[in-house]
Amino acid sequence: MSEKRYERPDKGQTGLRRIWNATLYSVAGFRAAFRHEDAFRQECLLAGVLIPIALVLPVGGAAKALMAASVLLVLIVELLNSAVEATVDRISLENHQLAKRAKDIGSAAVFLSLTNVVLVWGLVLLG
């Protein structure tokens, strides 16, 4: 039996159609995260404040890039954490040790990315 049977019908698309569809899926993902995830909205607000500050600070280009990238990393990790949580909840809403572990590990990743912001910004500003 062919493995193709289990793939989505749009998986075979190439070129501009694939890029267009991927863009639409990404926009839908951003909208879903913004609509359903309080933490993502808060972190977007944080990014909306910190990234412009990083761009106007009198530091070098590499420092600006590191500062902005550290903030964007928080959003990336939060999106992945939200995806893990949604998947775990889709499978079952009952309490389970592995579900808790998956959610806790995702939360730890977000915490680590926020710690990274503090570290990078502290080193740039105080360094």
Report d(CA 117, CA 70) in Å as an integer.
Answer: 5
User: For 5, which DSSP code?
Assistant: G
Report d(CA 9, CA 77) in Å as an integer.
Answer: 29
Choosing from 7, 37, 78, 94, the catalytic residue is: 78
Rg (CA), the chain: 19
Instruction: Judge whether 94 counts as a catalytic residue.
Output: no
Give me the helix-helix angle, 15-36 and 61-91, nearest 10°. Answer: 80
Report d(CA 17, CA 23) in Å as an integer.
Answer: 10
Report d(CA 118, CA 40) in Å as an integer.
Answer: 18
Active site residues: 78
